[in-house]
Structure 1
């Protein structure tokens, strides 16, 4: 069990600091945002499971397995005495594992409920204050001079534009904005961001949580840009971004909760990426193209993502006695 605790502890430390720092500074994620997003999700999941698993393995080491430790400790938790094999460190590790797991799960549930309430409120406000866009009932238009676009997910999805946005964009640029927002909806970016926002709000003092959320937000914006490029091309998308900038992008769903949102730095990264794709002549209709990456890199990154998640699951299997 100490070996399991050591392996999971080492993995948790690696995924808590050096790996996210290196990934957030790397250049290749902008060229393969879908693969990079999968890796970020694997890092977050494996990191959380490894941290909790390390504490559980260390705390249950005197019993040899987690079920045996539960069998020994459960009857004496309230009345005592604690078996002598368990010292203060083991009890503290088990208690901390439970507290961390409870904190993460409750914060995820709270964030999801708050976001769902906000989305319902947004749907109600949009229904009352906006009109359907002619020829496109899924798009609603608000009478407001500020150029703004966002999408509201749910069972009934809605893309919202303002009069101010429509006035400053030509038809192709407007189509690019609509396609961008609908890509957010189609690819369920609000769920991906929700998980990282919950992680960030659970441990706001942890710098990697903020770095991870910012990276994920940037990657989802790039994926939505790709959806717009496939429909209307790079020129129209770049024109829309240059005309309205961050004022035309509020994220995949309006949410009052604190967290990372598209900003000037993200906009600059997106525009730089579009210039790079232009140089590579990457706007090929209807298919994903090589963005200047080694051909083996996407497969290697996906295999790494699977491996990162598999390690803590193997550790839990060892703790439960499923594997020796």
Structure 2
């Protein structure tokens, strides 16, 4: 049990600093954003499980040779009101820390969700007053705004894409189609759920380098994924022009956003309006990726990344549940 806790602690340290730093500096995620997204999710889940698991296993180590057996012994102690003579100060401290961290993570996740829902509700109310349905585009609302604005507002069956009339006047029909395709990709691929989870993780553990790097990486990856969907219906040149024109409008107008960019509470937000601030998304990086495209990762490399993601999740799980493994 002690060896298991040490291994879990080592894995937690690796996933908290060197692994996410190395991944954030890598160039290949732009070639395969889906695989990179899976890997970032695995790092986050495995890191959290390792942190909590290391403390839990250490705290229960005097009660048995496996986590399951130790938990049974702990339940017996509680139900029969026995004195936990096997547990000393540091064991109780580790158990308390594991419980507090677990509650903190879950509470922050729920609190972030409640905040997002409230902000979206207020934003939807504003839209009902300041916008009108587009007659030409399904589930699209148009606001009276001179700057080019494009974003999506998730809400299940009530999800909508919001455009400004300034955007519709600025862009050519094919460029507008690229913007709409980009925004709808965010909705159909449920990118707001990914951003919600990583924003909650960042809020819960702001001191952890992984949380900051992961949120920045995920913000960039969802834009790449949405760009790739738009590229199926328009050429790269068209998409580049659309991103560039809206970005120029952003600088000139002050409130507009590039397709999918942003997350402020006011119109001109972006991917998940009223939820997250993703103004740090690298527009130049997106344009460079489209202007000088590199071939996607091969099947072997993609399979290796996905296998590594699976192993990251499996390692702490096996260490926790396999009796007498270490």
TM-score between the two structures when normalised by the length of structure 1: 0.88
Report the counterpart of residue 284 of structure 1 in structure 2. Answer: none
CA RMSD across the alignment: 2.2
Please give the per-residue CA displacement for 1:185-234, whole angstroms capped at 9, x wherever unaligned: 01000000110000001112223211110000000000011111111121
Q: Note the alpha carbon deviations across 1:282-318, whole angstroms, 9 max, x for none.
A: xxxxxxxx42x34411000000111111112112213
Residue aligned with 2:161, SS? strand
- Say if 1:80 and 1:102 are closer, same or farther in 2 by CA, change over 3 A: same
Find the aligned partners of 2:69 and 2:174 in 1 and give their Cα distance. Answer: 65
Range with bigger deviation, 147-156 or 248-257 = 248-257
Q: How many angstroms does 1:77 deviate by?
A: 6.9
Matched, 1:313 2:317: yes
**1:252 equivalent in structure 2:** 271
Residue 301 (structure 2) aligns with: 297
Shift of 1:268: 1.1
Partner of 2:16: 16
Residue 96 (structure 1) aligned with residue 97 (structure 2): yes
Matching of residue 110 in structure 1 with residue 108 in structure 2: no
Alignment coverage as a number of residue pairs: 307
Structure 1, unpaired ranges of 5+:
281-289
User: 8 Å contact 1:33–1:222 — kept in the other structure?
Assistant: yes
1:121-151 alpha-carbon deviations (Å, 9 max, x no partner): 2223223321111222311100011221110
* Residue ranges of structure 2 left out of the alignment (5+ in a row): 251-256, 263-269
Distance in 1 of aligned mates of 2:324 and 2:11:
21
Q: Does 1:56 align with 2:75?
A: no
1:142 match: 143
> Quick check: 2:63–2:74 contact (8 Å CA) kept in 1?
no
Confirm or deny: 8 A CA contact 2:139 2:161 kept in the other structure. yes
Cα separation, 2, equivalents of 1:90 and 1:84: 11
Aligned partners of 1:217 and 1:262 also within 8 Å? no
- Partners of 1:71 and 1:184 lie apart in 2 by 45
Contact 2:141 2:160 in 1 (8 A): yes
How far 1:256 moved relative to its partner?
A: 5.0
Match of 2:290 in 1: 274
**Equivalent residues of 1:108, 1:198 under 8 A apart:** yes
Distance in 1 between residues matched to 2:311 and 2:67, nearest whole Å: 23
Measured at CA, do residues 124 and 323 of structure 1 come closer, stay the same or move farther in structure 2, by a change above 3 Å? Answer: farther
- The offset of 1:171, in angstroms, is 1.1
1:82 positional shift: 4.7
Q: Contact conserved, 1:73 with 1:82, CA < 8 A, in 2?
A: no
Q: CA deviation at 1:72?
A: 4.8
